[in-house]
Amino acid sequence: MESLAKRMKDAAERVSRDWEDRLRRLVEVDCGTHNLSGVTAVGERFASWLREAGFSVEHLPAPGCAGVWVGRLPGRGKGRIGLLGHLDTVYPDGTAAERPLRREGSRLLGPGVSDMKGGLLVGLYAVRTLSEVLPGAWGEIRFVLNSEEERGSPHTKEAMLGALEGSDAVFVLEAARVDGSLVSARAGVASFVLESFGKAAHAGVEPEKGRNAIVDLVARLSALQERAAGQRGFRINIGRIEGGTVSNVVPDRARAEIDVRLFSAGGLQAATRLLEEVAALPSVTGGEARVEGMLWFPPMEKTEGNRRLAELAKRCARSLNFSVEDVWTGGGSDANWVSSRGIPCLDGLGPVGGSDHSPGEYLEADSMVPRIALLALLMAEVAGDAAEG
C-alpha cells in the first residue's frame, strides 16, 4: 500500500493546485438552505466541475428546496462507491459579502468553508487523483449533492438514498474533527414542542378565573427533566420556552422547544413515549397540554460495516505517514440516513476545520492535500476489495 500511497499523494498535490480559488468561488455565493437560487447556483457550478472530471450529472428537483444533483462516473472495475455532500449553509443572505474568504496564517475563514465547501472539493480532487493513478479501477462512483442537509433533508432524503443504493461504501464529506478524527457514529436528532393551554384573566381583578399556562408548563418540564435523567437511549435539552403576553394577564398559552439526541434505534420511540406521558399528566392549574415531534436524523450506530471502513481508513492514513482515529459525535448529518439503510458509511472525510455555524468558521489549509490523498486511497482500496470479493 505504501507505494500506491506515495503515488496518490503526489497526484493529489498536482491535481489540486487550484483548490483555494475554487473554494473562493463556492464561498462567494449566499447559499442558505432557503435561498434556492443561491444553492442552485452553487450546485450548477460544482456540477460543471464534475462534468470536467468525466461525470454525467443529473439534477433531481424536489419541492421546497433546490433538489439533488447526482454525478455518475463509470469505470471498468467492480467497486460501487458513493460520495455525499451538501451545498447549503445556515447563514442568512448577505453573509458572503460581509465575510468573504480570507486567510489567517494556515487557516481559511469564510461561511461554509468547513461545513462543507472544503469537503466537496476534497471529494472532487480525490476522484481526479484516483482517475490519474488508477484510471477506471472502480465500477461506478456516484457523487451526490444535497441541497437541504442543514434542516434534516425532509424533501431530498429519498432521492439522495436512492442514488446511493447498492453502494459498497459511502464516504460523507463533512469536515474532520478538529484533531483530524473521522466519524463512524453519530447521535440521531429529534425536536419536540410541548405546549400548555390555560385560560386568560385579569391578574389583578379576577385571577381566580384564569388558568396559568406557564405554571402548568413549568411543572411539566420539571417532571420531564426528572424522568429523562438516566435514560440510556436518548438525552433531552429544554432549549427555549415562551408564554404569555403582558405581566398583568394570566397567560393562556406557553410552549417549550426540546432538543432530543438519540443514541440507539429505540431512542426515538422511548423519547416520544416519555413526552406523551408528560403531556398527559394531570394539570396543576386545570389546563391541557399537547406535544408534537419531528425526526431530523436517525442515529448512526457503529455498525460492522462502518467499523471496517474506519479501520481501513486508519491503515490508509498510516501509509500516507499520518494517523487518524474514528469517533462518535453528538451532531447529525446525512451519514445518519445512509447508515440507517444498512450501507457501510464513514463520515468526516473532509478537511480539518471547526467553529461551524459561526463567524469564526475555519478550514486548516494544510489538511487539504492529505485528506484528498486519504480519500483517493480509501476509494482505491474499496474498489480493490470489491474486485477480490
Beta pairing partners, 192: 258, 293
CB 167 within 8 A of CB 142: yes
Cell numbers 490523498: residue: 373
Q: Is 2 exposed, middle or buried (CB count within 10 Å of its CB: 0-12, 13-18, 19+)?
A: exposed
Q: Using alpha carbons only, what angle is made at residue 110 by residues 105 and 111, rounded to the nearest 5 degrees?
A: 155
Which residues form the catalytic set?
A: 88, 149
Tell me how far CA of residue 205 lies from CA of 156, 237, 248, 254, 285, in angstroms. 54, 37, 10, 22, 18
Cell numbers 386568560: residue: 200
Separation CA 311–CA 298 (nearest Å): 23
CA dihedral of 5, 10, 16, 17, whole degrees rounded to 10: 160
Distance of CA 7 to the CA centre of its chain: 31
